[in-house]
Structure 1
Amino acid sequence: MRISQLEGKRVALWGWGREGRAAYLAVRSRLLSMPLTLFCSEAEAVEAAALDDKLLSVETQATAERLSAFDVVIKSPGISPNGPAAVAATASGTRFIGGTSLWFAEHAGDNGVVSNTFCVTGTKGKSTTTSLLAHLLRASGRRTALVGNIGVPMLEVLDPQPAPEAWAIELSSYQTGDVAVSGAHPDVAVVLNLFPEHLDWHGSEARYIEDKLKLVTDAHPRIAVLNAADPRLAALRLPNSEIRWFNRADGWHLREDDLYRGDVFVMDTRPLPLPGRHNRSNLCAVLTALEATGIEARPLAAHAQSFRPLPNRLQVMGTRDGITWVNDSISTTPHATLAALDCFAGRRIALLVGGHDRGVDWSEFAEHMRDGAPATIVTMGANGPRIHALLAPVAQEAGFTLMAAGTLPEAVAAARAALGEGGVVLLSPGAPSFGQYKDYVARGRHFAELAGFDPDAITAIPGLGIA
């Protein structure tokens, strides 16, 4: 659905974060005289009222009855379409779409393909991978947009002039379905890996996987770049797309830490500023995507050396009094926490885990701790007691120190005391920040402050936007 097709329909916006504001401005810029209704919080309603838009009605209760009064609701990504009110409204005929869907519909060519788009999704590593993709595209001389879930809503770059030569777009599982319902097709879609996440939003692990894969199963990209090492992805058959594989011996892959293209050695990846072997492995995804579009990838691989790591993602902030502080606040799954621990294997670690409880199973993590536990684990947040209960018997058997804290400041104090003269304090919570923080960025900023670092110096994402 294009923005012009909203004309004459009853349209509402749901959510007034950055995505919601971008949707409002995009719709209002094209449809100056169309009435709109906004559903948002009471605090956001005050901000929206300051716009003095006589055609904008603001409400603070998004009930099934009210949502059902509209033909189309443009919702922010964080609002689940699987909630009772949205499900009831959908059954009554209301159509829910997101800003990502509108953007793709606006940019589709005659064949439905949105040219020069590289869409990246996956449970972990997608932000770093998308940023690295943009970095190498720029190194090839192409003016590139780094946008999407990474921090710039698609509708904020609806019609930039001059238009970028390439689009590096990060998509969360909240947005992949939006591409599918837009009727447009990405030029290239990259899927890195699949682990259970966001189960409260999707409703189940099966639906999460289904929603994540809609980028390739339903949006029918021209080219799908898939991880051959992921069992679910390796089993996919996509008759409407050309598949290019990475992490396979006949393509881009790692042998130990060495990068290969087929049987040809390219470089040692250990010196690269890519935190964790999984991120160095995702360099293979980037090179495969570039190569799939006819770009000479091998000469660009060396430019990964000048890549600047992203904040809140295995970010080594520095050392204070012999303790190295690592900010992995974006970690929202136990699998991500395990990957973070692997990056610092062999060092004395105090790990901080826990946050918002969305029902993710931590039993596999607990089993890993029998042989691969750090020196200390401090649990915290809403799901902290549940994780602590799982780990308690393991800690007795494996011999690591297990501590409990209610808040991040308490957890930091406990970790600092446990390490004493030196080691690594690793914030890799494996859970969202909701409840105690607005988002993972706010959690990372607070962690930086508690560790004695300037939060402003750690939060900027290099290369965001169009350059």
Structure 2
Amino acid sequence: MIPVRGLEGRDVAVLGLGRSGLSAARALLAGGAAPLCWDESAEGRERAAAEGFPLHDLTRDDAFRGVAALIVSPGIPHLYPAPHPVIDAALRAGVPVDNDIGLFFRSLATPGWHGFDTAPRVVAITGSNGKSTTSALLHHILTDAGYRAQLAGNIGRGVLDIDPPGDAGIVVLELSSYQTDLARALTPDIAVFTNLSPDHLDRHGGMGGYFAAKRRLFAEGGPDRAVIGVDEVEGRFLANQLSEAAGDDRVIGVSVARKLTGPGWSVTARRGHLSESRKGRQVAAIDLRDIAGLPGRHNHQNACCAYAAARALGLAPRVIEAGLRSYPGLPHRSQVIAERGGVRFVNDSKATNADAAAQALQAFSRIRWIAGGLGKEGGIAALTPYLGSVAKAYLIGHSARDFALQLGGTPVEICETMERAVASAAAEARPGDTVLLAPAAASFDQYRDFEARGDDFARQVNALP
């Protein structure tokens, strides 16, 4: 646990008692603060009471009298589309609003660090797509190389639940826009921006607000090094703002769309080959094409980002390559479930929007595509350029019929359920085909989350005769 520093002896309100909220309450208590807990749900309040935390109704008119700060869980809106009433009351009362990420960065460094030979370092990774894989991949590379590394944030453990890092310890954080938008302290040693595509726009008041939330990771604390995906204009703008000159090697540019030239530091992947260049010269290269855990262009971008961050931490290219090759992949992200009769079954349930599904459709050929669920704004019309590899679509969930109307001449079967979709796709697949779950939709019409949807796909595949 990371005890919270700087709030000793103060009353601190905690709103939202899920994983991050309860973790924050424990860390506040460990640091000498007095957490006052509240959740709109009786279940959340019961969890806090079971751990002995005092409940404090934050909806009362005088709820913030004597309160030093309000700590908010990431799912609770603080600005757009409208502030939660409790947060609005805190803003009106002048009570600072923060989250567990802000508490983590203000509390991580301790006087004991002066006795370390090498101070601990934090790598924070954000972006629209690929940040989970990039984070897990970097953590794997580090641990495979013998480093003491911990994985936390939006993946793995809550940030305040990790062990205090020791001498030369490394913390790898995956951070969503919900987390970076509100944190009052953001001071990673290395910050990574994978890419940007429209997502969570209602929560951030549009694309500009969404990018601004991501940008805070780089602007608030000023990382020593920044790894920036520059295939979108926002990434190019961010890299430009952080660089003092074209050869400024504090910024490492990443691209899978073009070969980056010039005197700076870059990592690119073209046609499955990763290339690192510095001062206009290639210094290392890795063939990614036969790495089973990283199929497709989108995973090659993840590999480039993880490689660049590992290089910034001082790892040698061949050490990083060994970690790339032994990476097993993340559940629900291009995860190979089985191979039967020459047919591969791949679970990419995390592809919850059209952009993520487009990446999956480009990673394989001869696809039997299982898609559908609770469709998002725009549906799947943007996927038209990527349907050439789709032999047939098997559509499930609430948006199945809407999706069918957007698929043009692609053969379609309305299956509605995962069981029917897997059975039909498996029966029609031929050797060399890939049965791919890449829903391009949210899961909440049939499942509690994308993990449950992916687990159901795996169950149906494993139950095939």
For normalisation by structure 2, the TM-score amounts to 0.82
Counterpart in the other structure of 1:85: 84
Distance 1:410 1:423 in 2: 18
- Superposed displacement of residue 318, structure 1: 0.3
Distance 2:217 2:84 in 1: 25
**8 Å contact kept, 2:338–2:461:** no
Distance 1:208 1:36 in 2: 31
Distance 1:374 1:63 in 2: 52
Give, as a single letter, the amino acid of the residue that structure 1 aligns with 2:448: K
Superposed CA deviations along residues 200-237 of structure 1, whole A, max 9, x for unmatched, are 43343332222122211334222111123332201223
1:75 aligned to 2:72? yes
Distance 2:62 2:447 in 1: 29
Cα 1:166–1:207 change in 2 (3 A) is same
Distance 2:332 2:382 in 1: 24
Cα 1:279–1:227 change in 2 (3 A) is same
Distance 1:257 1:239 in 2: 29
**8 Å contact kept, 1:190–1:289:** yes
Greater mean alpha carbon deviation, residues 281-290 or residues 295-304? 295-304
Give, as a single letter, the amino acid of the residue that structure 2 aligns with 1:377: A
Counterpart in the other structure of 1:458: none
Give, as a single letter, the amino acid of the residue that structure 1 aligns with 2:181: G
Distance 2:83 2:251 in 1: 37
Distance 1:35 1:202 in 2: 28
- Superposed displacement of residue 337, structure 1: 0.4
Distance 1:80 1:132 in 2: 30
Cα 1:425–1:225 change in 2 (3 A) is same
Give, as a single letter, the amino acid of the residue that structure 2 aligns with 1:157: I
Match of 1:194 among 193, 196, 202: 196
**8 Å contact kept, 1:196–1:333:** no
Distance 2:95 2:415 in 1: 44
Cα 1:153–1:125 change in 2 (3 A) is same
Superposed CA deviations along residues 228-254 of structure 1, whole A, max 9, x for unmatched, are 333220122334893222232463222
Give, as a single letter, the amino acid of the residue that structure 1 aligns with 2:76: I
Superposed CA deviations along residues 332-389 of structure 1, whole A, max 9, x for unmatched, are 22111011111112x1x23222334553554322x325x5261222333344454344
- Superposed displacement of residue 265, structure 1: 5.6
**8 Å contact kept, 1:362–1:387:** yes
- For 1:48-447, list aligned pairs within 5 A: 48-51=48-51, 53=52, 55-57=53-55, 72-81=69-78, 82=80, 83-86=82-85, 88-89=88-89, 91-92=91-92, 93-108=94-109, 115-157=120-162, 159=164, 162=166, 165-179=169-183, 181-182=184-185, 184-236=186-238, 237-239=240-242, 242-247=250-255, 248-249=260-261, 251-262=266-277, 263-264=282-283, 266-272=285-291, 273-320=293-340, 323-345=343-365, 347=366, 349-359=367-377, 362-365=380-383, 367-368=384-385, 372=388, 374-389=390-405, 391=406, 394-395=407-408, 399-413=409-423, 415-416=425-426, 419=429, 423-447=433-457
Cα 1:27–1:453 change in 2 (3 A) is farther
Counterpart in the other structure of 2:25: 24
Distance 1:195 1:66 in 2: 42
Distance 1:194 1:74 in 2: 27
Distance 2:272 2:102 in 1: 39
**8 Å contact kept, 1:185–1:222:** no
Counterpart in the other structure of 2:458: 448
**8 Å contact kept, 1:217–1:238:** no
Distance 2:331 2:63 in 1: 37
Give, as a single letter, the amino acid of the residue that structure 2 aligns with 1:368: P
**8 Å contact kept, 1:149–1:170:** yes
- Superposed displacement of residue 58, structure 1: 6.4
**8 Å contact kept, 1:115–1:186:** no
Cα 1:66–1:246 change in 2 (3 A) is farther
For normalisation by structure 1, the TM-score amounts to 0.81
Distance 2:60 2:369 in 1: 42
**8 Å contact kept, 2:120–2:167:** no
- Superposed displacement of residue 192, structure 1: 0.9
Greater mean alpha carbon deviation, residues 229-238 or residues 258-267? 258-267
Distance 1:358 1:10 in 2: 41
- State the Cα RMSD in Å: 3.3
Counterpart in the other structure of 1:43: 43
Greater relative contact order, per chain length (Cα 8 Å cut-off, separation 6+): 1
Distance 1:206 1:339 in 2: 23
**8 Å contact kept, 1:64–1:84:** no
Superposed CA deviations along residues 281-306 of structure 1, whole A, max 9, x for unmatched, are 33222222233344433543243211
Give, as a single letter, the amino acid of the residue that structure 1 aligns with 2:287: D
Distance 1:203 1:382 in 2: 27
Count of matched residue positions in the alignment of Structure 1 and Structure 2:
433
Give, as a single letter, the amino acid of the residue that structure 2 aligns with 1:152: R
Greater mean alpha carbon deviation, residues 245-254 or residues 221-230? 245-254
- Structure 2 unpaired stretches of 5+: 112-118, 245-249
- Superposed displacement of residue 156, structure 1: 0.5
Cα 1:434–1:76 change in 2 (3 A) is farther
- Superposed displacement of residue 434, structure 1: 3.1
Distance 1:293 1:302 in 2: 16
**8 Å contact kept, 1:258–1:267:** yes
Secondary structure in 2 aligned to 1:270?
Answer: coil
Secondary structure in 2 aligned to 1:238?
Answer: helix
Cα 1:435–1:210 change in 2 (3 A) is farther
Superposed CA deviations along residues 76-96 of structure 1, whole A, max 9, x for unmatched, are 222332344256335413433
- Superposed displacement of residue 327, structure 1: 0.7
Distance 1:363 1:67 in 2: 48
**8 Å contact kept, 2:415–2:421:** yes
Distance 1:447 1:65 in 2: 48
Cα 1:264–1:26 change in 2 (3 A) is closer
